[in-house]
Structure 1
């Protein structure tokens, strides 16, 4: 399998002043929101104008050392915290066509081929697993699959009657279905084969 890791395409190898002020701005905005503060409230606490703080958060102005100190005190964090996002590595996974990892998920039935298209281990509290699922004449129907989290389906090829709880959805190419995965779900009617669809599963990471 040829899996290539690439840096965020929006991130260059060289970091300049604009990268730094953008990173600081994003971090200030994230900290402000996490503390439930409005721009007006934080600006007042840091003795800044709301317009100046707005420009800083959007990376439109470079803050002075005095401004950074005032913001760190108003936010109750060390000044170094404001630089957290600068030069921080952001992962990306590039999977070439046909090179996804064939995975066996818990509860997978015969003939359901799950191709895992990517997996990134980060600090996020949410795990996202994208799969390409292929069904053929040898595939079993299985409308009672259950797991935690949310799931999004996007139909690429074929036609499937997909069960979710008490409802049966007729999925054709271009159709999508987004649902609570804790309810019984899965393909119940294989109407036109082969069938292929994307499945993106999101669930909280275990501590």
Structure 2
């Protein structure tokens, strides 16, 4: 009980994917779209405002007959209340050292890129990489692509270029930038270098 008082989000997080919470969200969403108050919907569905409030907050599990009454009052099919619960929620778990190795320019020069995850079936794409630079090289590949990128230096020191600017980065430093400008490591000042790179872009070309 003490933990829940200290962290008001603890209970919500644990119940976020429960069926009751998903149904409640949908009932409230359809009600507000129609401009109905809790009392309005309660009257039409023959439910007390208190019971309807409990349903919308995911506190109680409504019976099938109650859902049928709500569906008639809101003019939506009963199955509409389950849509949020049935949406696919992807998770990618990658064990240490087991990220998918990706071939990119500079790979042969001791630059290793391991993809740690990838969004599935969504317009917004997120690609997290663990990048390891282990060898000095005279060739520093510059990258240029759509979207945004965030890099966080875990180990080593590097001078990282973005457009016309050069950033001296040490462990703990981060850089967030538009990825459509040329960017990449330019001076490997302390090896090995490890950094986390998160690229975000839209499949439609807009972020």
What is the TM-score when the length of structure 2 is the normalising length?
A: 0.71
Task: Report deviation, 1:79.
Answer: 3.4
Aligned mates of 2:190, 2:171 — CA distance in 1:
11
Matches within 5 A, 1:97-112: 97-105=96-104, 107-108=105-106, 110-112=109-111
Task: Report deviation, 1:97.
Answer: 0.7
Task: Report deviation, 1:91.
Answer: 2.7
Aligned mates of 2:147, 2:55 — CA distance in 1:
36
Aligned mates of 2:73, 2:180 — CA distance in 1:
47
CA deviations 1:62-92 (Å, max 9, x no partner) are 4532234333x3xxx5432221133544332
Matches within 5 A, 1:138-177: 138-139=136-137, 140-142=139-141, 144-177=142-175
Task: Report deviation, 1:182.
Answer: 0.8
CA deviations 1:157-203 (Å, max 9, x no partner) are 00111111222222211111111111111111211111000001111
**In the alignment, which residue of structure 2 is the partner of 1:132?**
130
In our comparison, the structure showing a higher alpha carbon Rg is 2
Change (3 A) 1:92 1:40: closer
2:71/2:77 contact within 8 Å kept: no
**In the alignment, which residue of structure 1 is the partner of 2:113?**
114
**In the alignment, which residue of structure 2 is the partner of 1:4?**
none
Q: Which runs of 5+ in 2 are unaligned?
A: 1-12, 43-48
Q: Which runs of 5+ in 1 are unaligned?
A: 1-8, 12-17
Change (3 A) 1:116 1:167: same
Higher relative contact order, structure no. (Cα contacts within 8 Å, ≥ 6 residues apart): 1
What is the aligned residue count? 180
**In the alignment, which residue of structure 2 is the partner of 1:43?**
36
What is the TM-score when the length of structure 1 is the normalising length?
A: 0.71
Aligned mates of 1:200, 1:138 — CA distance in 2:
24
Q: What RMSD over aligned residues (CA atoms) do the two structures have, in Å?
A: 3.4
Change (3 A) 1:45 1:57: closer
1:43/1:53 contact within 8 Å kept: no
